[in-house]
């Protein structure tokens, strides 16, 4: 008797779930529409404009303004972000070069120290292992 009442209860619960399914689907689609409303902090796809940002900062660095620390720093950041997105080791090498230029402009500034620490990461090590001048030996920590 107890087994048949449990079976009957499960059968009624399943029938109720099947009957409630259209209502659930209708309400879920309404919440999906609400999720499409812009939020206070919308997510912007800045990877779509990465090349334009790199071109802008390359132009700013190319002007060779004295004491300009921000342009090389921002260019280095854009190169590193593009490296993360695309995996091009040339971007990691260019990021290191612009960070070193920033260090020459303002030695031991907080911005320059941050830029060189950003490029002395595994990304920089990877770039040093694969992109180096002809005839030079790879660094010792490349695993070769």
Q: What is the pLDDT of residues 77-98, one digit of tens each?
A: 999 999 998 888 999 999 998 8
For residue 25, is it within any domain? yes
pLDDT in tens, 11-40: 999 998 898 888 877 776 665 566 666 666
Do 122 and 62 lie in one domain? The reply is: yes
Among residues of the chain, what percentage have pLDDT more than 70? 60
Q: Which residues of 105-140 are buried (b: 16+ CB within 10 A; e: fewer)?
A: bbeeeebbeebeebbeeebbbebbeeeeeeeeeeee
For residue 117, is it within any domain? yes
Q: Which residue has the higher pLDDT, 122 or 4?
A: 4
Query: Structural domain of residue 117, as residue ranges?
Result: 48-132
User: 128 to each of 28, 74, 76, 83, 97, how far by Cα in Å?
Assistant: 51, 21, 16, 14, 12
Question: Using CA atoms, how far apart are residues 74 and 123, in angstroms rounded to an integer?
Answer: 17
> According to the model, what pLDDT value does residue 41 have?
63
Do 14 and 53 lie in one domain? The reply is: no
Q: Is 68 in contact with 112 (CB distance < 8 Å)?
A: no
Residue 5 has pLDDT above 80, yes or no: yes
Do 89 and 22 lie in one domain? The reply is: no
pTM greater than the 0.75 cutoff: no
Do 23 and 83 lie in one domain? The reply is: no
Question: Using CA atoms, how far apart are residues 43 and 106, in angstroms rounded to an integer?
Answer: 34
Q: Is 79 in contact with 88 (CB distance < 8 Å)?
A: no
For residue 114, is it within any domain? yes
Q: Which residue has the higher pLDDT, 137 or 18?
A: 18
Do 74 and 10 lie in one domain? The reply is: no
Domain count, the chain: 2
Cα three-residue angle 79-85-87, rounded to 5 degrees = 80
Do 121 and 54 lie in one domain? The reply is: yes
Q: Is 57 in contact with 74 (CB distance < 8 Å)?
A: yes
For residue 36, is it within any domain? no
Do 67 and 21 lie in one domain? The reply is: no
């Amino acid at each position: 008797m107890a087994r048949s009442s449990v079976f009957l209860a499960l059968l009624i619960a399943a029938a109720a779930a099947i009957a409630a399914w259209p209502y659930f689907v209708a309400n879920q689609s309404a919440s999906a529409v609400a999720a499409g409303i812009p939020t206070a902090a919308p997510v912007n796809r800045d990877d779509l404009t990465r090349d334009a940002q790199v071109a802008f900062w390359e132009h700013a660095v190319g002007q060779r303004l004295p004491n300009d620390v921000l342009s090389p720093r921002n260019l280095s950041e854009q190169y590193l972000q593009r490296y993360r997105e695309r995996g091009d080791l040339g971007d990691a090498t260019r990021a290191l070069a612009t960070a070193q230029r920033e260090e020459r402009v303002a030695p031991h500034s907080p911005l320059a120290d941050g830029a060189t620490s950003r490029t002395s990461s595994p990304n920089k090590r990877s770039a040093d292992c694969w992109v180096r001048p002809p005839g030079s030996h790879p660094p010792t920590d490349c695993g070769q």
